[in-house]
Amino acid sequence: MNEERRPSPPRISVITATYQRAGTLPRLYESLVAQTMQDFEWVIVDDGSTDDSAELIGGWQAEASFQIDYSRQENQGKHAAINRTVERARGELCAMIDSDDWYPPEALERMLAAWESIPATHRDSFADVEALRVDPDGEMVCDVYPEDVFDSNAFELIALHGVYGDKIGMYRRDVLAEFPFPEEMGWHVTPALVWNRIAARYSTRYVNEVWAFTDYREGGLTDRETELRLRFPDSQLAYWREYAAMPKPMKPRSRLRAHANCVRYSLLEGTSLRRQVAESPSASWTLLALPAGLLLYLRDRRWLRRNRELVEAWSP
């Protein structure tokens, strides 16, 4: 669809970073075609695919009733591609979805309803709305929220309420632009680093509704989580340091876990224990967490030794 057919910005930009997903993108596309709310565009940034993704998307651009903005970059990592989608998006709100996930028909309509359920006078203090994901068989892949409508943030959700797992959401575009993924940390950056930074300033409305289906693929980023954490520890260390220093209440167990992971990833980066204690947000908590942190570090070293060939032959 060309720009002349829809000159004004849509309400929602669906943003997708993709890499080698010609096999799964059609499922996502069909779910967008089926949406009950059609005031959206689809912004796709291809992180250097060599499959048929470009040809597929080109065909959809010619037939879709909604705008499809497609661009391609050399392979720089998913986080860099997400930054580019935000830069290209025109909507006030960005619904972020991976290229191997897909929406039920009412997902965008329900996202907008959840956002508009926040009083207009309070929306400046909210970054996003989030809900639940299920696998293709309808089984939950994440914890449900303590209440059906629950206002909190990504930090408190874990630190205070112990709610874990991948969620799905829609964000204010200006907030995503305010907190881009850091691109200087290497090919992989944990999304938790950005969500934690957003949580320091903004709230999130969580709802116990299913807004997406998730099909974790063999060889995908989730499947390679351990490998990526250990190959690219910079963002993990930054996340846990900022988590440990967050000026918000947290359970003692969460605080101990944060400092143990600071020890763990600092050692992986080659930082001495003495320097860690000196630079820690809390020297006493760091000392208390040393045994757990050392055990985690030793476990990581064993994994790296066992998988030396995999690490040495690494490719995106």
Contact 196, 239 (CB under 8 A): yes
Band the pLDDT of 216: cuts 50, 70, 90.
confident
Band the pLDDT of 315: cuts 50, 70, 90.
low
| pLDDT value of residue 229 | 87
Give the residue ranges of DSSP H helices in 165-232.
173-178, 191-199, 225-231
What's the DSSP call for residue 40? E
Contact 85, 45 (CB under 8 A): yes
Global pTM?
A: 0.92
| pLDDT value of residue 51 | 95
Phi, psi of 133 (to 5 degrees): -120, 150
Question: Mean of the pLDDT values across residues 208-218?
Answer: 90
pLDDT above 80: residue 169: yes
Question: Mean of the pLDDT values across residues 282-309?
Answer: 91
Mean pLDDT lowest for which of 6-20, 209-223, 277-291?
209-223
Q: Among residues of the chain, what percentage have pLDDT more than 70?
A: 93
Band the pLDDT of 34: cuts 50, 70, 90.
very high
pLDDT above 80: residue 110: yes
Contact 133, 214 (CB under 8 A): yes
Domain ranges of the chain: 3-214, 232-312
C-alpha–C-alpha distance, residues 154 and 163, integer Å:
9
The two tokens of residue 96 are: 């972020």
Sequence-distant (6+) residues with CB within 8 A of 230 are 268, 300, 303, 304, 311
CA distances to 39, 89, 138, 251 from 206, rounded to whole Å, are 23, 24, 19, 21
CATH architecture for residues 3-214: Alpha-Beta Complex (3.90)
